[in-house]
Amino acid sequence: MQKNIFNIVKQNPLFSNFSEENFLPFVDFFIPVTFRPNEIIIYEGTPAEKMFLVVSGEVSISKCMGTGQRELDHLQNGSCFGEMALINRENRMATVIATTETKCLQINSGDFFRMLDESRDFERNLTRVLIGRIKNTEANANNLILKAYKTLLFSLANLTESRDDETGAHLLRVQRYCRLLAEKLSVHPHFSQTINEIFIENIYIVSPMHDIGKVAIPDFVLLKPGRLTPEEFEIMKKHSSVGAQVMEKLLDEIYFSTFEMGCDIAHYHHERYDGKGYPTGLSGKNIPVSARIMALADVFDALLSKRVYKPAFDFDKVINIIKEEKGCQFDPIMTDVMLAHIDEFKDIYLKYCD
């Protein structure tokens, strides 16, 4: 029996460092218990008096949220539950129910702390496991936050595009053009010190926000089925400054390097390498790298796409236009890198075409 309990307990990370000899003084602390299907093992809000190690079966962990219970997790063989409440000396934070006939080893609170006092192996394991849980929890929380604001940014950008003749597919393509071009440039000696993995991730996340300033452009300009008059074009050009203001407000509330890049992209993606762009007339290296990448990606997709004022151009014509604008509208090094990998950009367009 002692051997069986040791073999079961040994599988759990909390007790994995125990040798059979070191475990022997504590074997009686592990009390076999069996729970029927749907039997409540722990009630949320009750005092923490014991922890459990699942030997067989399955338990469901749920928490009261709003108008009902929300299931948080399922635990099976080898898992333990209840130990955090013991450590914190707090009431239970969740309810645990046996979903099938479930066999556990129960450890009472006094025995838990006696084992912690007397066993360096258990103390070290407990510390290691808790640190791992904290790291995982922080990573999961950060990933959820990151996913949430990625989704929010894309949704806001898509809402803007829905007023224009462009589509959500345009945003998907632009994201991927920007990421691909940034990846290629990251190994180029001219950009390797500027473009790293964080830069690539940021430009992928925020590139759909490049035209967010169009929310301020009136329909008679934004939706005009033809070329704009000089006066109308001046109104349209304001979307760059408005977009920068939107991103600056986000930065004022909470700083993310992503938002800072988004501000640069929104503000400067219509600047030209020769200084003849708008809204500020920046030229050459004075234009942020992210905005120079965005300019190429945006124009490449616009040329390939049908607009109210132009038909869709074929790939050969688009490539010729890009070549002609090298050093004029576009950064010459970026243009060369894009053209060297043009088939990969074509593949993105074909995969995500409308």
Of 3, 10, 135, 214, the catalytic one is 214
Residue type, 191: F
> How many Å is the Cα radius of gyration of the chain?
30
Residue-level length of the chain: 354
Contact 12, 128 (CB under 8 A): no
Omega before 279 within 30 of 0, i.e. cis: yes
Closest CA to 328 of 286, 282, 272, 287: 272
Q: What is the distance between the alpha carbons of residues 176 and 171, in angstroms, rounded to a whole number?
A: 9
Residues with Cβ within 8 Å of residue 330, at least 6 apart in sequence: 273, 292, 295, 296, 299, 322
Q: What Cα–Cα distance (Å) separates residue 90 from each residue in 53, 85, 168, 230?
A: 19, 5, 49, 69
DSSP 106-124: EEEHHHHHHHHHH-HHHHH
Judge whether 238 counts as a catalytic residue: no
Catalytic residues: 214
